[in-house]
Structure 1
Amino acid sequence: MAAAVTAVRGRLVWFRDDPFLVDRDEAFAYEEDGLLICEDGVITAAGDFQALRERLPEGVEPVHYPRHVITPGFVDTHTHYVQTGIIAAFGAQLIDWLDHYTYVEEQRFSDADHARDVASSFCDELLRNGTTTALTFCAVHPQSVDALFEEATRRNLRLAAGKVLMDRNAPDGLLDTASSGYEDSKALLEKWHGNGRNLYAITPRFAPTSTPEQLEAAGALWREHPEALMHTHVSENTGEISWVRSLFPDRHGYLDVYDHYGLLGPGAVLAHGVHLTGRERGRCAETGTAVAHCPTSNLFLGSGLFRVHDAKDPRHPMQVGLGTDIGAGTSFSLLATMNEAYKVAKLSSYPLDSRKAFFLATLGGARAMGIDDKVGSLEPGHEADFVVLDPGATPLLARRTARAADIDELLFVLAVLGDDRAVRATYVAGALAHDRDAVPTGGDGPCPGTPPGVRDGSGA
């Protein structure tokens, strides 16, 4: 059978390396008039349009997005799909917010129908915001995991997720046991990891809600299945750190709890890390443990300012990605998340430029998850997940981007002023998965593909 070919034309932007650590031009790839060719869901060519046009198969005409910016699909390294319904719930501090909103909402996911409904809405929001890969918590209920992976499979999204492990300090309706949590997680991992584009993440919620026995079991499961990810929270809030110290008095600190139980290493993504010490950051770098920087939720709950320049210290650089942390996070948009990351860095006397921000949202996130050979780049051989950004999406964006002197300024304006409206289109495995401007079909939402005959992404 002939290969399924997708081709798009526009400004191409991606990263070949980490701009925090290497020369900014060496790390950055940009084609002013670029062509991206994809076959059977994989990128086969990316570069100058004139140089590559002869490689287009006969009869294939690229979809042209003039003046648009095409980047790898965004990678969200920390979110909670089960908290979609409680975004913008007032909370004084992290623990109060968990008690009053999060735990109440997550108990609803014992209902498989509710889980399926939220999973569908969650995936809609990802695509509307240009996110093609996400690492997310589910609930303690196994059916919440099945619902999300079933929806991700239907849409061919690359999602990583796991059942929350939680056997103390939470409502009875959300508690498992060390034994049942291990058995349920093992069954779900064997069912879903590597099934299509799905990845499983072993997911203790955070140290205060797991007994030593449960953390021991989680570490054992990861040793048995090192191909899985490990996803939890660390050092988000100063009160939380004190709580951990009281629960684990024999450990040297919050990170040492996870270290003691074998929960650090490549494939481990720890959300927040706002208050990690220098020694703890060094240990993360030494073990290959990544941190998800979640600026909108850290600001919303008043948890503190993550110092990205400390995390990327060349003496012990950590892998860092961006996370929306829905629902304490206030937007599904990684453009909006970049905006807040810039402000947080500025308050720490560090100028986070547009290249570094877009790196964190693409290749940086993929590296944090250990899947940079698959996503986060437009290099040939990577999966064809990409997003088309519209610099003229709103009147203000159009006016401001028209004055951009170069690609760096254009990206910066998109990060500061952009949101879901700036996402013109999202492609998943080479197929159009979201088209902002598609003609609705009978009131059921946008068409699932390019309207017949339309080759100009501007809609003209």
Structure 2
Amino acid sequence: MSNISSNTNLQAYRASVLHFQQDPAFHEKAYAWHEDGLLIVEDGRIVAAGEYAQLHTSLPEGIDVIDYRGKLIVPGFIDTHIHYPQTDMIASPAPGLLPWLETYTFPTERQFADINHSAQVAHFFIDELLRCGTTTAMVYCTVHPESVEAFFAESEARNLRMVAGKVLMDRNCAEFLRDTAEGGIRESEELIKKWHKRGRQLYAITPRFAPTSSDAQMQLAGELAQAYPDTFLQTHVAENTDEVAWVKSLYPKARSYLDVYDQYGMLRPRAMYGHCIWLDDADRARMAETQSAVAMCPTSNFFLGSGLFNFERADAQQVSLSLATDVGGGTSFSMLRTMNEAYKMARLGGTYLPALRMFYLATLGGARSMQLEGTIGNFGKDAEADFIVLDPQATPLLARRTSHTESLDELLFALALLGDDRTVAATYAAGKLVHQRQAGHN
């Protein structure tokens, strides 16, 4: 490590350090764990992560090592499916997905034609993400281009790695949320040209879901996704049995709900499909073949009574998996609380989900699903320095439980099952402190 420069932008952090190189479900040596570790950052990127005893002597004289001993540094969490306009209607009661959309979601989204309202919500939303340790998210805006402009402006001002897109919907929705097939695509393309790869911002082509886009809009969205192959694509699929039946009535010739998207050329790398509960093995094989990815949303699935994601069948096809909050169907911005729900979802489905895999899914799993490994998600050299500091003593109960854990998996399990936003002591984006928890807030 003698090549570490004396750049004044060099920073070093001492703590336990954990990150992943592989999925623990398929690889025995999937992670690097340094109980007394050092993370070295320069100009917003990772220089090295390893044992303190081995790395500290390579630091230039005069560098202050920020001491987080007793805490755990992991890559920033990656939330692959979340709706920022639904922040204000989180925890709204409804008997199911479709009435919930009609009663709460669509009226709330109507307000985002106002860019000032959008900006105010975007500011709070990003504050909440950072407070919970989420440094990257795949974000649904509304049908209004103003909602996208406001979100990206807020994210850019904080130099965050975010993905977002204007929702496309030209049928089966309230008139006040309806665009047109051509107009929605034209607005999306203008937003791509302005924001995609501008700084750390990335664009996602975003048909809300098949029932709310006409054949013409679906066709044009697929063509846009092919014309801009390095953009993302995000939508919903097979979340709820009523929704699946509705899609079947709208697309009677399609083999499955997923096949609707496939027919329009929307299965491809960087395509993220929310939920994926009611898929069959042919669907899963097709997702794996096309490098399309799953955003699992356990909290939302429980809240809306949608069903249980099948880990065993997805893993049998080695589908790319990630974890997501799905706020406002999800009832928490916290990826730790989302891990808690994912564990229970797996158990109810007859699968055991180890804590190491939960943390993988919330970090490198998300990055891989988004085709961003090497950019975010772990501490490989030159990766962007997005990381968080977790405090095992954040609450009295967590402190008591973690004082006698006997393995790394046990420690992580306690953090996942007992942790929440209070567990996140600090959040860093591109090497800069962007959230610090105030002492004494138990």
1:196 aligns with 2:199: yes
1:307 counterpart residue number: 310
Letter of the 1:15 partner, please give it: F
2:382 counterpart residue number: 381
* 2: CA distance, partners of 1:2 / 1:186: 40
3-state SS, counterpart of residue 350 of structure 1 = coil
* 1: CA distance, partners of 2:427 / 2:439: 12
3-state SS, counterpart of residue 229 of structure 2 = coil
- Per-residue deviation at 1:370? 1.0
1:240 counterpart residue number: 243
Is the contact between residue 274 and residue 296 of structure 2 (CA under 8 Å) also seen in structure 1? yes
3-state SS, counterpart of residue 340 of structure 2 = helix
- Per-residue deviation at 1:438? 6.7
2:19 counterpart residue number: 14
1:449 counterpart residue number: none
Out of 200-209 and 61-70, give the one that drifted further.
Answer: 61-70
Letter of the 2:73 partner, please give it: I
3-state SS, counterpart of residue 181 of structure 1 = helix
2:362 counterpart residue number: 361
1:141 aligns with 2:125: no
| 1:265-280 to 2 correspondences below 5 Å | 265-280=268-283
Letter of the 1:161 partner, please give it: A
3-state SS, counterpart of residue 301 of structure 2 = helix
| Structure 2 length-normalised TM | 0.97
Counterpart pick for 1:168 among 160, 165, 171: 171
2:3 counterpart residue number: none
- Per-residue deviation at 1:2? 3.9
2:433 counterpart residue number: 432
| 1:330-341 to 2 correspondences below 5 Å | 330-341=331-342
- Per-residue deviation at 1:309? 2.5
3-state SS, counterpart of residue 57 of structure 2 = helix
Letter of the 1:383 partner, please give it: E
Is the contact between residue 3 and residue 40 of structure 1 (CA under 8 Å) also seen in structure 2? no
Deviations 1:148-197 (A, max 9, x none): 00000011111100000000000111100110011000000110000010
Out of 157-166 and 370-379, give the one that drifted further.
Answer: 370-379
3-state SS, counterpart of residue 329 of structure 1 = coil
Segments of structure 1 that go 5 or more residues without pairing to the other structure are 440-445, 447-460
Letter of the 2:46 partner, please give it: I
Deviations 1:411-445 (A, max 9, x none): 00000000000000001001111110279xxxxxx
Is the contact between residue 12 and residue 70 of structure 1 (CA under 8 Å) also seen in structure 2? yes
3-state SS, counterpart of residue 248 of structure 2 = helix
1:348 counterpart residue number: 349
Letter of the 2:435 partner, please give it: H
Deviations 1:329-359 (A, max 9, x none): 0100000000000000001111101011000
Letter of the 1:418 partner, please give it: G
Is the contact between residue 123 and residue 154 of structure 2 (CA under 8 Å) also seen in structure 1? yes
Q: Which 4+ residue blocks in structure 1 deviate beyond 2 angstroms?
A: none
Is the contact between residue 234 and residue 273 of structure 1 (CA under 8 Å) also seen in structure 2? yes
3-state SS, counterpart of residue 350 of structure 2 = coil
Taking only the aligned residue pairs, the percentage that are identical comes to: 52
* 1: CA distance, partners of 2:142 / 2:241: 25
Deviations 1:382-423 (A, max 9, x none): 100001000000000000000101111000000000000000
3-state SS, counterpart of residue 129 of structure 2 = helix
3-state SS, counterpart of residue 388 of structure 2 = strand
Counterpart pick for 1:92 among 84, 92, 95: 95
| Structure 1 length-normalised TM | 0.93
1:227 aligns with 2:230: yes
1:211 aligns with 2:214: yes
CA RMSD of aligned residues (A): 1.2
* 2: CA distance, partners of 1:350 / 1:409: 18
Deviations 1:209-241 (A, max 9, x none): 001100110011111110100000000000100
- Per-residue deviation at 1:4? 1.3
3-state SS, counterpart of residue 400 of structure 1 = helix
- Per-residue deviation at 1:93? 0.5
1:250 counterpart residue number: 253
2:391 counterpart residue number: 390
Counterpart pick for 1:151 among 154, 172, 191: 154
1:371 aligns with 2:376: no
Aligned residues: 436
3-state SS, counterpart of residue 64 of structure 2 = coil
* 2: CA distance, partners of 1:333 / 1:146: 25
2:127 counterpart residue number: 124
- Per-residue deviation at 1:373? 1.7
- Per-residue deviation at 1:91? 1.3
1:66 aligns with 2:106: no
3-state SS, counterpart of residue 377 of structure 1 = coil
Deviations 1:38-89 (A, max 9, x none): 0000000100001000222221111111110110000000000010001100
2:417 counterpart residue number: 416
Is the contact between residue 401 and residue 414 of structure 2 (CA under 8 Å) also seen in structure 1? yes
* 1: CA distance, partners of 2:7 / 2:75: 25
Deviations 1:106-130 (A, max 9, x none): 0000011100000000000010000
Is the contact between residue 6 and residue 431 of structure 1 (CA under 8 Å) also seen in structure 2? no
Letter of the 1:384 partner, please give it: A
